[in-house]
Copies of this chain bind each other. A is one copy, B any other.
Amino acid sequence: MLFLARMDVHFPESLTPEQVADFQAREKEYSGNLQREGKMKGIWRVVGEYANYSIYDVENNDELQQVMAGFPMFKYMNVKITPLAEHPNHTDAVAY
């Protein structure tokens, strides 16, 4: 079951560059794990913004909430979720 997320990141001024780098390293590891587990199907930078669009494949809303809340930078993210359904024009020519 697929969901599209848009995530906008806003770090407070009080964070040091080291803290930011640490958050980003942990975020990268967490994100990579989600991809290898097949729960994150793709992630793309929104050009010019500290934001991404990403697609998730989860069993249900509770799992998606766990995935979201598990992001190390979750408290600094503004997340908007869009539930996706199969489109009638979808063909097998695309990956998912």
**Among B38, B42, B48, B79, contact of A81 (Cβ-Cβ < 8 Å):** B48
**Among B41, B44, B49, B90, contact of A86 (Cβ-Cβ < 8 Å):** B44
A94 touches B40 (CB 8 A): yes
A83 touches B61 (CB 8 A): yes
Given the interface pairs A61-B1, A93-B32, A93-B35, the reply to whether A84 lies near B14 with Cβ below 8 Å is no
Within 8 A of B (CB), among A52-96: 52-54, 60-62, 64-65, 68, 75, 79-91, 93-96
A22-38 vs B, Cβ < 8 Å mask (1 yes, 0 no): 00100110011001101
* Residues of A participating in the B interface, judged by any CB pair closer than 8 Å: 1-5, 12-14, 24, 27-28, 31-32, 35-36, 38, 40-50, 52-54, 60-62, 64-65, 68, 75, 79-91, 93-96
